[in-house]
């Protein structure tokens, strides 16, 4: 009788633990405010500068049409900033991510050198579910164009999905996988590469910022990630939608601010004059989140980003 009761209690405890893990949720909501915009804008400037370095170092020749297409792609590419706090006193893990292929792969796509159609700029042309070993190697090899990784601050590269990993793109209504290269997915996949097989890092808290609306595919990936690794937290994204072309909510207005800031930066960093002039180190001064928070609170004056 006692044995039966003990087994029942063990079963109930096991079920409670399982249900507790499944209850973890990553909330995805519209964010607004200078701190949100400044965080993702910082990621976008690093991306633009990496492309400038690549083009200059490799002597890449682009036609006027190709240069315009490249600037358009960089103005609209999704960038993400994810902070993961493992349980206990373990160091926070910061992941920087951008959508799409490697720099070389993106330029090949624009020029048609890699067999793709030139001039594309939509998200449907981003890297799909399958990431070839050569594309992965190129993305990793381009590290010299970005700020150096540290044990707790890493750039999300394209990774192949491994058996047992839950982060994956889901096909759309027409069956095509068009979100395999999304910044959020790349960030989650790189984080999963650290959490998978390492229970000590699981069960933490994730805080993320994304420059565009999180799609349904990535929303499902966040849900699967939260359930599998017991992660909770919040991911904030900006609202790209408008009503008759007018931004009516704070999230929409801040999205417009970010769009104008990014356009000004990309058009400057990748202008013909800059590409011919030499290096411009746009992130030589470390980013300080405290200064952004102070600016948002009105304590620190900063120049207007755009008018």
- Longest Cα pair distance anywhere in the chain, in angstroms? 85
What pLDDT score was predicted for residue 18? 38
**271-304 pLDDT tens trace:** 877 666 544 443 334 444 444 445 444 443 433 3
In terms of Cα–Cα distance, which of 234, 219, 195, 254 is closest to 81?
Answer: 234
Across residues 33-48, what is the average pLDDT?
Answer: 92
pLDDT confidence bin for 114, thresholds 50/70/90: low
Q: What is the mean pLDDT of the chain?
A: 77
- Selection from 200, 156, 209 nearest residue 30 by Cα: 209
Q: Where are the domains of the chain?
A: 28-296
Asked whether 126 and 181 are in contact (CB, 8 A), the reply is: yes
Q: Which helix (H) or strand (E) holds 265?
A: helix 250-269
Q: Can you give the length of the chain in residues?
A: 307
pLDDT at position 134 is 87
Residue identified by tokens 């981003």 is: 126
Q: Determine contact, residues 192/165, Cβ cutoff 8 Å.
A: yes
Angle at 198 between CA 129 and CA 186, to 5 degrees: 25
Q: How confident is the model at residue 102 (pLDDT cuts 50, 70, 90)?
A: very high
Find the mean pLDDT for residues 210-215.
Answer: 90
Residue 174 three-state SS = coil
The predicted model gives 112-121 an average pLDDT of 49
Residue 43 above 60 pLDDT?
yes
More confident residue, 265 or 241: 265
- Give the global pTM: 0.77
Reply yes or no on whether the pLDDT at 228 is more than 90: yes
pLDDT of residue 275: 63
Residue of higher predicted confidence among 179 and 229:
229
| Parallel/antiparallel/unpaired status of strands 26-30 and 153-155 | unpaired
- Kindly report, residue by residue over 121-169, the tens digit of the pLDDT: 333 334 444 677 888 899 999 999 999 999 999 999 988 777 778 887 7
189 or 301: which leads in pLDDT: 189
pLDDT of residue 35: 82
Residue 196 has pLDDT above 70, yes or no: yes
Mean of the pLDDT values across residues 216-233? Answer: 92
Q: How far apart are CA 169 and CA 182, in angstroms?
A: 9
């Amino acid at each position: 009788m006692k044995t039966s009761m003990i087994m029942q209690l063990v079963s109930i405890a096991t079920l409670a633990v399982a249900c507790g893990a499944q209850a973890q949720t990553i909330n995805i909501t519209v964010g607004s405010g200078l701190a949100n915009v400044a965080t993702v804008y910082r990621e976008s400037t690093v991306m633009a500068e990496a492309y400038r370095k690549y083009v200059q170092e490799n002597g890449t020749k682009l036609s006027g049409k190709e240069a315009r297409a490249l600037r358009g792609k960089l103005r609209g590419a999704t960038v993400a900033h994810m902070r993961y706090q493992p349980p206990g006193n373990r160091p926070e893990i910061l992941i920087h991510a951008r959508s799409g292929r490697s720099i070389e792969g993106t330029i090949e796509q624009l020029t048609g050198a890699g067999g793709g159609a030139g001039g594309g700029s939509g998200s449907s042309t981003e890297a799909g579910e399958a990431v070839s070993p050569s594309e992965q190697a190129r993305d990793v090899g381009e590290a010299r164009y970005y700020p150096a990784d540290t044990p707790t601050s890493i750039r999300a590269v394209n990774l192949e999905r491994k058996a047992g990993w839950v982060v994956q793109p889901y096909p759309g209504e027409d069956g095509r996988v068009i979100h395999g290269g999304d910044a959020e997915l790349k960030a989650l996949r790189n984080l999963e590469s650290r959490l998978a097989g390492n229970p000590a890092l699981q069960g933490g808290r994730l805080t993320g910022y994304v420059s565009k609306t999180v799609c349904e595919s990535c929303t499902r990936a966040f849900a699967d990630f939260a359930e599998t690794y017991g992660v909770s937290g919040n991911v904030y994204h900006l609202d790209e939608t408008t009503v008759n072309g007018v931004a009516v909510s704070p999230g929409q207005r801040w999205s417009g601010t970010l769009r104008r800031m990014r356009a000004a930066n990309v058009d400057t960093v990748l202008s013909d004059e800059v590409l011919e002039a030499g290096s411009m180190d746009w992130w030589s001064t470390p980013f300080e989140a405290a200064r952004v928070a102070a600016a948002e609170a009105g304590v620190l004056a900063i120049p207007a980003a755009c008018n």
